[in-house]
Structure 1
Amino acid sequence: MTGVDVPALLTFAAVLVLTSAVAVAARRFYRADVLPTPADWAVAGRRFGTVTTWFLMGGTIYTAYTFVAVPGVVYAEGAIGFFALPYTIIVYPLAFWLLPKLWREARDVGAVTIADVVRVRYDSPGLALAVALTGILVTMPYVALQLLGIRTVLTVLGVYPAGVIGDVILGAVFAVLAVATYRNGLRAAAVIGFLKGVLVFAAIVVIMALLGPPDRLFAEAERRSTGPPDLVSAGVDGGVVTTHLDPGLSTAYVTLAVGSALALLMYPHVLTAAFAARGEQVLRRNSVALLGWTALLGLFALLGVAAHALGVVVAEGRAELAVPTMITQLMPGWAAGAVFGALAIGALVPASIMSVAAAMLFTRNVYVEYVNPNTTPKQQTSIARFVSLLVKFGALGFALLLAAQDTINLQLLGGVWVLQTFPAVVLGALTRRLSPAGMLAGWAVGMLTGTLLVTSGGFSAVVVVGGLQVYAAVIALAANLVVAFGVSAVWRR
């Protein structure tokens, strides 16, 4: 960028300062004289109602990087970028059935993590360890990805890269988040989630009002030669442009949508947010109401088309800058800064919950299980708080020391890996034909298969199989299931 947009930067900073102050004081919103326990720190004592859960889970699932990357993919690749919409629709019927069941299991056995549930359900420390280690492994790059979302905003504001200024701002934002999470656990994420929801919804309403009707955006995007090749005119006589997919990408689109939907509910941070709900009905209501966040994501995806319509041009390979750059062209500096502040807050909610989830997985399912089984609840909370700090600053190191593409590649692998816990988490609730040994063997095969598929294709999540483009996670899950059922059958005999 050519220079620092001072009004935008000041407004951006003001939004972050306000949010940080609220997050640090989060426990004041719920006063209770209770001993520090894992359940109180990590899942807020399972006390969140429908509204709080809606803001918390929406803020968790729809991350800051999602709101920047999805329109960026639409800007760069066209229709394939819209796969995020069907997958966030497909996921909620599964959530309607699965989340209340897992919540009930967790409450009945006093579980705080999904690995706790697996440990009790199958009486298998090894399978629980596999689920815990997978959760920890996929969380680190995911937290770092949220930092990339903030870094994209700072780049457009003109302060990244600029010597150490950008790194200092990133470090300061995460330091405050670390303190808030250390003190208040999941409650910090809950209050930030409320602010995120209000600000992001307000931002998209203002942006869409400035852009005008969507049909005009499609028409103008088609007119410009810079539009992606699969944004084509459908019904030229009406002047309406829609998106259609190259038929060769159909299998990639479908498997990305289905595989991503199945993987989403396996992520520890999503399940941690669900475990904080007050009851099963809260989760069922939210499985319907969270579609409001999907509508919001759809509008953000449309901004990728709008960036073409307005003739926004960014450097090759930096498509994620298209929408933030467009916002600076649409709005005065102070208003753009407020929108960027909302996007930055969008990173803080999932980052906070991810660090809580990873910390508790390590504490409960690694340290207590294998190092010191006599750890008291108070000691578990203290250990988890310390580990949550390590997770955040480890993710900060990822973002500062690794190239952005390296972090994205690791996150691609994370989506493939986390889906390999699907048999243990979901199928075990449907059938008893799967033994712990079978699921553990299937998990190992799925992890290896998925890793080889992604890395051999140059870190592409979509690979060619039998002439068709398919999401690698789905192939790995198929191998996982074949081995899991095969080994389980032999094991029973």
Structure 2
Amino acid sequence: MIDDVNGVVFAVFIFLFLLVTVLGFAAARWRRAKSLDSLDEWGLGGRGFGTFIAWFLIGGDIYTAYTFIAVPATLYAGSAVGFFAVPYTIVVYPLIFLFLPRLWSVSHRHGYVTPADFVEGRYDSRPLALAVAVTGILATMPYIALQLVGMQVVLEVMGIGADSDNWFVKDIPLFIAFIVLAAYTYSSGLRAPALIAFVKDTLIYIVIIVAVLYLPSQLGGWDSIFASANDSFASFNKENADAIAAGDAAPKAMIPPAAAQWAYASLALGSALALFMYPHSVTGVLSTRSRSVIRRNAALLPAYSFLLGLLALLGFVAIAAGVKVANPQQSVPQLFENEFSPWFAGVAFAAIVIGALVPAAIMSIAAANLWTRNIYKAFINRNATHQQEATQAKLVSLVVKFGALVFVLALSKDFAINLQLLGGVWILQTMPAIVIGLYTRWMHRWALMAGWAVGMAWGTWLAYGVKSPVQDHFGGPLVNFPGTETKVYIALIAFLLNLLVAIVLTFVFRTMKVDEGVDRTRPQDYHADAGDPGVVEEVDPEAPAHA
């Protein structure tokens, strides 16, 4: 299985992987309460993370292994809109500053663990909360699968099982990683990824900064790198002019042409709106100690956007370095293997794989929290104790990770990527119920439910109809805006229709005097902070868990 693996690369990689494994299990004793048998403790880390820990946790949650694989891969492949991830991570932080402190306050006042908990309390609607929860789980599953895809890409470049026809030899590394991830998530909960995030982000920063300083010096500087990328794209477009004209191939470019600028802008805006609708992002935020921690992180997290911009440029660096891979996702790992010394290549590979473990753990915890609170307790066992909730969440976190593993091994990688496209479309449809609900109760609960259903159905149908040169369905994130030839992000179109339906039906239902339910929150709940009466405070590591 490892005959073609460089011994030094493998040794460094294994050392760092074992280090984070030890940290994952040790996290159960870090900031330890008397028991982890509650969702406050297991699923939210005691609700007590400060600015420093939260910065690593939320950053490690957002900037996943697949981010570090896919963003430069889009530029390597010549996607004119490949840089959209950089502005969208810039746009998102002012949004965080505005609405997430309100969600933190109302959640800590009422003990909410998931965004669906808030929706149920705000609108007195278990069906609407169920819709939000199911959407969150559906959108999260392929996201976890893509972390495993990112790990698989790195292992293939390292030579571990890459050329084997034996499925057991080829996939055993992923099984091992899955077992390790499942074990320390089960035992330590959210504390495990919080502690591992320190190692992950430190390694990522070191690797990227060294790469953007060292590699250009070996390749003639940035002028030469950009010129090489531009020449490569121009050559491709010239050689494939007929195929491009016939729609059988996509043109390559460094900067979006005028026709693609709305596509670029809508991808950035839609992705920014969707990012903190994902349950794992909300989980990271609700684990913090106070509103101030969220605000400070909204100001500090753009440091990751700077890192992401540097990372994206490595796609062009790989072209200038002469990296040739059939799968663009292998471009950056292959660049590291070709250009770095073996020991530093081992560090880089470990950084990417560890970068998969952190978000995969948080995502599985978030999905388990949704299942436990908004399906199991809401519909199956209304009188579940805190211990039963924690046990249920632990078991479901294993099922979620196992499902993602089966998904990756049984289906093509392209299918996983396509389903992640749907994840962005789906999760944005929960925004009206969550974000608008943080500011006003004007929207009717059944109007929100109808808007969600229409947005989900229309977005899925649009995505299904997108054809690319290599596949007939789910071929990309863009379609023509209705009545125009302008390409825009599917999720944004579905969201606008969702919002329109919800607004129109709110007028209709209010006119008909359809029951609106009882709002269990109060205006002051949205401004509560740590130390205020009734706010769920940080768990004292020496005190019993919350009852």
Above 0.5 in TM-score?
Answer: yes
Does the 8 Å CA contact 1:79/1:245 hold for their aligned counterparts? yes
**AA paired with 2:503?**
F
Which of 221, 224, 249 in structure 1 is aligned with 2:229? 221
Measured against aligned partners, the alpha-carbon deviations of 1:101-154 in whole angstroms (never above 9, x if no partner) come to 101111011011111111111111111000000001111111000000000101
Does the 8 Å CA contact 1:154/1:166 hold for their aligned counterparts? no
| Structure 2, unpaired ranges of 5+ | 239-252, 467-472, 512-547
1:176 aligns with 2:180: yes
Distance in 2 separating the partners of 1:226 and 1:329: 25
Which of 402, 407, 419 in structure 2 is aligned with 1:393? 402
1:226 deviates by 7.4
SS of the residue corresponding to residue 25 of structure 1 reads: helix
Name 2:192's counterpart in structure 1: 188
**AA paired with 1:207?**
A
Distance in 1 separating the partners of 2:336 and 2:235: 18
1:205 deviates by 1.7
Name 1:145's counterpart in structure 2: 146
Does the 8 Å CA contact 1:79/1:243 hold for their aligned counterparts? yes
**AA paired with 1:305?**
F
97-106 vs 3-12, greater mean Cα deviation: 3-12
Name 1:233's counterpart in structure 2: none
Which of 440, 446, 451 in structure 2 is aligned with 1:431? 440
- Which structure: larger Rg? 2
1:215 deviates by 3.3
Name 2:16's counterpart in structure 1: 15
1:255 aligns with 2:266: yes
SS of the residue corresponding to residue 463 of structure 1 reads: strand
Distance in 1 separating the partners of 2:354 and 2:402: 18
Does the 8 Å CA contact 1:446/1:477 hold for their aligned counterparts? yes
1:469 aligns with 2:478: no
Name 2:361's counterpart in structure 1: 352
Distance in 2 separating the partners of 1:61 and 1:38: 22
SS of the residue corresponding to residue 470 of structure 1 reads: strand
Distance change in 2, residues 1:113/1:223 (3 Å): same
Does the 8 Å CA contact 1:227/1:308 hold for their aligned counterparts? no
Distance in 1 separating the partners of 2:433 and 2:233: 49
**AA paired with 1:6?**
G
Q: Which residues in structure 2 correspond to 1:155-174 (within 5 Å)?
A: 155-161=156-162, 162=164, 163=166, 164-174=168-178
Name 1:234's counterpart in structure 2: none
Name 2:530's counterpart in structure 1: none
1:334 deviates by 2.2
Q: Which residues in structure 2 correspond to 1:332-411 (within 5 Å)?
A: 332-411=341-420
**AA paired with 2:391?**
S
Name 1:91's counterpart in structure 2: 92
Does the 8 Å CA contact 2:78/2:233 hold for their aligned counterparts? no
Distance in 1 separating the partners of 2:3 and 2:177: 24
Which of 206, 212, 219 in structure 2 is aligned with 1:208? 212
1:4 deviates by 2.5
Distance change in 2, residues 1:227/1:177 (3 Å): farther
Distance in 1 separating the partners of 2:233 and 2:192: 46
Does the 8 Å CA contact 1:259/1:473 hold for their aligned counterparts? yes
Which of 294, 317, 322 in structure 1 is aligned with 2:305? 294
Q: Which residues in structure 2 correspond to 1:244-283 (within 5 Å)?
A: 244-283=255-294
Does the 8 Å CA contact 2:78/2:254 hold for their aligned counterparts? no
Distance in 2 separating the partners of 1:19 and 1:56: 14
Please give the TM-score of this superposition, normalised by the length of structure 2: 0.85
Which of 297, 311, 333 in structure 1 is aligned with 2:322? 311
Name 1:101's counterpart in structure 2: 102
Measured against aligned partners, the alpha-carbon deviations of 1:69-102 in whole angstroms (never above 9, x if no partner) come to 0000011024411000000000010000111110
Distance change in 2, residues 1:220/1:170 (3 Å): same
Distance in 2 separating the partners of 1:456 and 1:121: 36
1:420 deviates by 0.2
Distance change in 2, residues 1:125/1:65 (3 Å): same
Distance in 2 separating the partners of 1:21 and 1:226: 49
Identity across aligned pairs (percent)? Answer: 47
Distance change in 2, residues 1:423/1:470 (3 Å): same
| Structure 1, unpaired ranges of 5+ | 231-241
Name 2:430's counterpart in structure 1: 421
Distance in 2 separating the partners of 1:139 and 1:432: 27
Consecutive aligned runs of 4 or more in structure 1 exceeding 4 Å deviation: 223-230
SS of the residue corresponding to residue 30 of structure 1 reads: coil
1:443 deviates by 0.1
1:406 deviates by 0.6
Q: Between Structure 1 and Structure 2, which shows a larger proportion of helix residues?
A: 1
Does the 8 Å CA contact 2:72/2:311 hold for their aligned counterparts? yes
1:17 deviates by 1.0
1:450 deviates by 0.2
Name 1:488's counterpart in structure 2: 506
Name 2:524's counterpart in structure 1: none
Distance in 2 separating the partners of 1:434 and 1:31: 42
Does the 8 Å CA contact 2:230/2:254 hold for their aligned counterparts? no
Does the 8 Å CA contact 2:75/2:254 hold for their aligned counterparts? no
Measured against aligned partners, the alpha-carbon deviations of 1:425-446 in whole angstroms (never above 9, x if no partner) come to 1112233321110000000000
1:45 deviates by 1.4
**AA paired with 2:82?**
G
Distance in 2 separating the partners of 1:144 and 1:262: 22
**AA paired with 2:455?**
G
Does the 8 Å CA contact 1:415/1:473 hold for their aligned counterparts? yes
SS of the residue corresponding to residue 43 of structure 2 reads: helix
Please give the TM-score of this superposition, normalised by the length of structure 1: 0.94
Distance change in 2, residues 1:452/1:223 (3 Å): closer
Measured against aligned partners, the alpha-carbon deviations of 1:422-479 in whole angstroms (never above 9, x if no partner) come to 0001112233321110000000000000000000112121112310111100110111
**AA paired with 1:80?**
V
**AA paired with 2:117?**
D
Distance in 1 separating the partners of 2:143 and 2:23: 24
SS of the residue corresponding to residue 256 of structure 2 reads: coil
Distance in 1 separating the partners of 2:172 and 2:210: 31
Distance in 2 separating the partners of 1:82 and 1:435: 38
